[in-house]
Structure 1
């Protein structure tokens, strides 16, 4: 209900070629408003509860934008505004004028009053009215409105659908698995809904093969595609239990066939995808899952979430973070607005969304014998390169199951030959010259000189440049040398996971010492034993350290700056790795690793 929230805005764009009659356009929109109460609906809080409020009349003003050129997604994005759900109407119309005979009509509709089928109805009725000069008699009469459906749903909920509730609660009994997909970025603490989308298609010849496979397995095209999507998610996450959300139209009665409103319900389908199972076996289980879910589809998703009492994670959606949707050719043709009017030609404009409600949403449709997919993704998690790779993997699995439906899915290899060569060979071409005569801290010093203002370390919301990191390390190194630390002397580094840890390692190396890393969360007697065994007399820390006898404890948080640069030895023991005894090691691999990590990729 946030006023600045735009991720629930549905955008439908139609490219119009020909002489657009603005008077007729406005007349058609007014007829739609009179016909559908949802298009006059807003939501108001009364006695602490949100209720549907239907206005008798509303004014819908056309936003005409004269582009004088070619319209693009940026024009549309700049025009889209968030809705105040307490003020009707919750939809807006923009007309972008490219020339006298070329326009783009954009519908911006809040999802609270519409769904995919309703969008198709809206476009179908709009074009029918336009073709019939705005005469309402051209449309079939409505016997009920959305409020009647809402009241019926409330009565049904009060009747308590015990069988449906029992099914869903049993399905999600026990621990509910979270899907952990390999992402390019860390998941933010709060969802931002930033997103993008990529489109791809499956050719007619392959679609025929998929339908044949579905027929052989006594399944549907939808089920085959849904099974492939689940196998991909299982392989990417290395998890056997997968939950994917699927929308259902919610239109189970002929009286609501032509009503605009939010009817859709979401079904969380929980599946077991084992690498030991064949595709045919997975598809067979998938058929049962989907059939059972559809049998109990009238149970509201929000009621299930409430019953399960799921701990809220503001960075995720409840129950699932991945969606799958597939529409038949007829519904998609209506929604796309593929119509030829007497004087106008209308066709869909492929607006690329900039929002994503879920981590991934695969939305498919059958169009002219082909399968056309849109893969919507959260840009907070995934890059375009990764998403294009996921599309290749989806194609690969589809091809494999068409060829070998009796093959165990664990044998399906996702990367193609080119990617396999890159992973195994090109990424492992590590042979090369590197400066063996330089120590780690000398390599670091050279990096500081080359790029002093570039970010060296990032930890959570903290970033530090090479110059800043070097000054902090030198500050601590000078203090260490003042305490007598020199070549091959051990300094215990007891720090939390932080920027201080990296600065402490560099400081000890710059001072000539060897660092002994110790986890501060270890029991005190364990830490004391490690210190005694290693013979460490100096402790460098950024946290509280219990009394350690006569050892010197240096807190990095209270060291003074500007002591000058410490003396640096050229080749000393770098680290002490404690196991059951103390081991001193020279670390040429560490020098090589630092060199490669800072070299251009």
Structure 2
């Protein structure tokens, strides 16, 4: 099975993860990474791949050691949770790290039925029963056996519930959510989204709007310290499962177990090995990207802004994919290289850092857990003006593979090691993601 082993190695270097869920082969990859050629190779060798996974399933890997933590009053935070905790302490009225989604429910249901389903989710996921404190000047998390939870009833014109403060938060969130009636839904979210008190669980709110007898909207708001984008998908899927009277598969571990595992000596040793590579990439002065601004940069970084989306023509996508194939790269790598070139040419800078988020769920046991697993890779590359694009693409390909190999190393620790002085008006390592 040497060819299967080689395939696994190549896929892992590209950030593609293969796993078995029951008898089904699951493929997970960052957006744009999985090429048609890779997919065809996986399909062609599917049976051999499944056999390979089964053969090595009982082999010991560094991720196999995540087990339920010993029960205690308080648990340590993961590095990313620590960062979010202290950010929230700087501005306790901020909801820049609220994560809001909208779910439309069609059919007959009532508030009590919906509340019962969400209480089931709160009971299932410890993250939804977790609060955060400072104990002896150290941030910790506490998991409660039971917390009070109920839906908030909202009106269709934005009145009702508890009003949010004016500012950038709800407008920014609403702009990112597709909705059947954008203006009305924006008003609903405006009235609903407000800051969380991290000391009070659950860090989850759900607002209910009845648009018609058999049409309802649920506004789901969670703090980022207990959730990520993948978690919103988990909550949505499991809501539908429970709403239909079914039960999701039981969880073997919870997020606090992952946080405790991440702080263990063996895992810290592995992270320390990864640190060497990251420190080499950020030796010397860290470049600051001076993008042109429409307005003066504020003294303190905020998140006011807007989003613009666009589509590429099919022909352009085909040509980009062909370029990726010729360079033995992925579409993600090609687009990332092109993005570097655009940033470089806009200001004439030849040393650029771009933030690249990764899901951080590298093992099957993490796939169904609500929690904050996301890490951000600080990808540094040198798009020199005299360099051929094909040569630069090879550099981006190599740095991307290395970055994904070392993705367990927390961004927060890299910042602590390489940033000598902080600028409160910007991110310490990169200005674009």
Provide TM-score, normalisation by structure 2.
0.70
- What are the ranges of 5 or more consecutive residues in structure 1 without an aligned counterpart? 324-601
1:24 matched to 2:137: no
Which of 112, 119, 122 pairs up with 1:33?
122
Match of 2:310 among 173, 181, 200: 200
Q: Is residue 147 from structure 1 mapped to residue 147 from structure 2 by the alignment? A: no
Instruction: Verify the 8 A CA contact 1:245 1:268 in the aligned structure 2.
Output: yes
Unaligned runs of 5+ in 2: 1-87, 159-180
Number of the residue aligned with 2:176: none
Q: Report whether the alignment pairs 1:264 with 2:374.
A: yes
**Superposed counterparts of 1:111-190, under 5 Å:** 111-131=224-244, 133=245, 135-136=246-247, 139-155=248-264, 156=266, 158-159=268-269, 161-190=271-300
Corresponding residue of 2:190: 77
Cα deviations across residues 206-243 of structure 1 (Å, max 9, x unaligned)?
43333333222211121122122222211222211110
- TM superposition shift of 1:157: 5.5
Structure 1 runs (4+) greater than 6 angstroms displaced:
none
Give the CA deviation at 1:183.
Answer: 0.9
Q: CA offsets, 1:420-450, max 9 Å, x none?
A: xxxxxxxxxxxxxxxxxxxxxxxxxxxxxxx
Distance in 2, matches of 1:204 and 1:13, equals 30
Note if contact 1:248-1:264 (Cα within 8 Å) is conserved in structure 2: yes
- The 3-state SS of whatever aligns with 1:196 is coil
Q: How does 1:103-502 map to 2 (within 5 A)?
A: 103-131=216-244, 133=245, 135-136=246-247, 139-155=248-264, 156=266, 158-159=268-269, 161-323=271-433
3-state SS, counterpart of residue 97 of structure 1: strand
Q: Which residue is equivalent to 1:361?
A: none
Task: Check conservation: 2:155, 2:188, Cα contact below 8 A.
Answer: no
Moved more, 275-284 or 206-215: 206-215
Provide the C-alpha distance between the structure 1 equivalents of 2:342 and 2:138, rounded to a whole number of angstroms: 42
1:203 Cα deviation from its structure 2 partner: 4.1
Offset, 1:65: 1.0
Match of 1:99 in 2: 212
Shift of 1:276: 1.9
Distance across 2 between alignment mates of 1:319 and 1:53: 31
Contact 1:310 1:318 in 2 (8 A): no
Contact 2:226 2:372 in 1 (8 A): yes
Once the 2 structures are TM-superposed, how far is the Cα of residue 205 of structure 1 from its aligned partner? 4.5
Question: In structure 2, what is the equivalent of residue 88 of structure 1?
Answer: 201
Alignment match, 1:67 = 156
In the alignment, the residues of structure 2 paired with residue 126 and residue 277 of structure 1 have an alpha-carbon distance, to the nearest angstrom, of: 51
Residues 1:308 and 1:204: Cα distance change in structure 2 (over 3 Å): same
Residues 192 and 309 of structure 1, relative CA distance in 2, 3 Å threshold = closer
Higher strand content, 1 or 2: 1
Displacement of 1:271? 0.7
Maintained 8 Å contact 1:11/1:106: yes
Q: Distance in 2 between matches of 1:5 and 1:32?
A: 26
Residues of 2 paired with 1:221 and 1:21: CA distance?
Answer: 46
Pairwise CA distance, 1:153:
0.5
Q: Structure 2: how far apart are the matches of 1:64 and 1:24?
A: 13
Contact 2:354/2:432, CA 8 A, preserved across alignment = yes
CA distance in 1, matches of 2:258, 2:317: 37
* 2:311 match: secondary structure: strand
- Number of residue-to-residue matches in the alignment: 319
Residues 470-498 of structure 1 show CA distances to partners (whole Å, capped at 9, x for unaligned) of xxxxxxxxxxxxxxxxxxxxxxxxxxxxx
In 1, are the aligned partners of 2:157 and 2:188 still within 8 Å (CA)? no
Match of 1:290, SS? Answer: helix
Contact 1:68 1:98 in 2 (8 A): no
Looking at structure 2, the residues matched to 224 and 259 of structure 1 have their Cα atoms a distance apart, in angstroms, of 32
- Mapping for residues 579-598 of structure 1, pairs under 5 Å: none
Question: Which structure has the bigger radius of gyration?
Answer: 1
Distance in 2 between residues matched to 1:106 and 1:298, nearest whole Å: 32
Could you tell me how far apart the structure 2 residues matched to 1:277 and 1:12 are?
A: 43
Deviation at 1:303, TM superposition (A): 0.9
* SS at structure 1 position matched to 2:324: helix
1-structure distance, mates of 2:106, 2:319: 37
Q: Distance in 1 between matches of 2:110 and 2:387?
A: 59
Deviations 1:542-562 (A, max 9, x none): xxxxxxxxxxxxxxxxxxxxx
Pair 128,215 (structure 1): closer, same or farther in 2 beyond 3 Å: farther
Partner of 1:377: none
Shift of residue 27, structure 1, vs aligned partner? 2.0
By relative contact order (CA 8 Å, sep 6+), the higher-ranking structure is 2
Alpha-carbon distance in structure 2 between the residues aligned to 1:203 and 1:42: 47
Identify the residue that residue 53 of structure 2 maps to in structure 1.
Answer: none
**TM-score (normalised: structure 1):** 0.51
Whole-Å separation in 1 of the counterparts to 2:313 and 2:124: 40
CA distance in 1, matches of 2:229, 2:257: 20
Does the 8 Å CA contact 1:241/1:271 hold for their aligned counterparts? yes
Query: 2: distance between equivalents of 1:149 and 1:218?
Result: 35
